[in-house]
Amino acid sequence: MIWVTWRQHRAQILVTVGFLALLGVLLLGSAVEASRYVAEHAPPGCPGPAVACGDLAVALGQRYDAIYSVFGWMPLVAPALIGAFWGAPLLGREYERGTYRLAWTQSVPVWRWLAVKLSVLGAGVVAGGLLLSLMVSLWRPVFRAGIDSTFGNIGVFNMVGVEPAAWWLYAFALGTLAGTLFRRTMPAMALVVAGVAVTMFALFQLSDYYAEPARTELSGAVLLDDPDARLVSAAWVEPSGREVAEPAHSGCPRRVDAGQSDKNTRAWQACLFGKGYRYAVYYHPPSRFWRFQWTEATILTFASAALGGLAVRRTLRRSG
């Protein structure tokens, strides 16, 4: 059965391996070139908080804008492609072409056919996701040294750690179930793309509740010192201690003039701080990175098991 699985799905496997190999070459080449660029242009003391270090980061961003754009879409596109081209055809193509009538009447029982297919391909999907995570984790520090946003940036968060493996497995299970529902490959592919997008948005909204947010009060700025923290909400704190979304009767006028809005906003905030107002920020610190990784991976793994179980149950009922 393992040999049959390879024969039937070698196109998807080889294309995915080729994609990861090409991506690895792209990452390695850009990292080597960027390292040389940083070594030649980095001012003393970088990485660090100096303005010149920020200018270097901006220059790197402009120089590698095309690569950044690719990775901007990768957290959504990669799982969707796995679900569409690994999961959806697994059973959808068998039904569509009618080959299940032959495959499921041989000496190998249907449950064993399903078990081998799902376990072998599922393991391959998880391995591919972990490999992608490893490559991205090794690549990003070249560009983001000192100003990393692995936790605060949701897109990057979904590309490192165990997240890619969990998302790829979820998309694969969703595609497998979609194939049993529609019994056609193309509609199943469309459902996978929509399902991954909806799930990603839902977990993004849910992630604020993975842990109780930390709270801090700022008395001279409205920004946290740590750019990698994940902001949940914020509010002004009146001198009496009451939290309000917007100070109503503070005595600090807030003007919005064309071309001067940032300057006027900073003056308004300075006036509030001078009158005893504080700014309360609710956030998740970067130290919760692995807690959030494993929480989300657990949710996706249980969802994958449920979707795979439904696909198996539906398939066995139809073959009975």
DSSP-derived pairing of the beta strands 243-244 and 278-284: unpaired
**Mean pLDDT value across the chain:** 83
Complete DSSP assignment for 193-250: HHHHHHHHHHHHHHGGGSSPPEEEEESS-SS-S-TTSEEEEEEEE-TTS-EESS-SS-
For the chain, the straight-line distance linking the first and the last C-alpha, in angstroms and rounded, comes to 21
Higher pLDDT, 40 or 218: 218
pLDDT at 146: 45
Cβ neighbours, 10 Å, residue 18: 10
Q: Which two tokens stand for residue 241?
A: 């201690």
Residues in the chain: 320
CB-count burial class (<10 Å; 0-12, 13-18, 19+) for 304: buried
The whole-angstrom separation of Cα 217 and Cα 249 is: 20
Question: Residue 1 pLDDT > 70, yes or no?
Answer: no
How much is the average pLDDT of 100-116? Answer: 70
pLDDT at 318: 67
pTM of the model: 0.85
Question: Is 87 in contact with 184 (CB distance < 8 Å)?
Answer: no
Higher pLDDT, 100 or 121: 121
Question: Residue 279 pLDDT > 60, yes or no?
Answer: yes
- Tokens 């024969």 correspond to what residue? 7
Higher pLDDT, 130 or 31: 130
Where residue 183 falls (left for φ over 0; alpha for ψ -120 to 50; beta otherwise) is: left
Share of the chain above pLDDT 70, in %: 82
Cβ neighbours, 10 Å, residue 196: 25
Which run of H or of E encompasses 279?
strand 278-284
Question: What's the pLDDT tens digit per position in 247-272?
Answer: 887 788 876 664 456 777 888 888 88
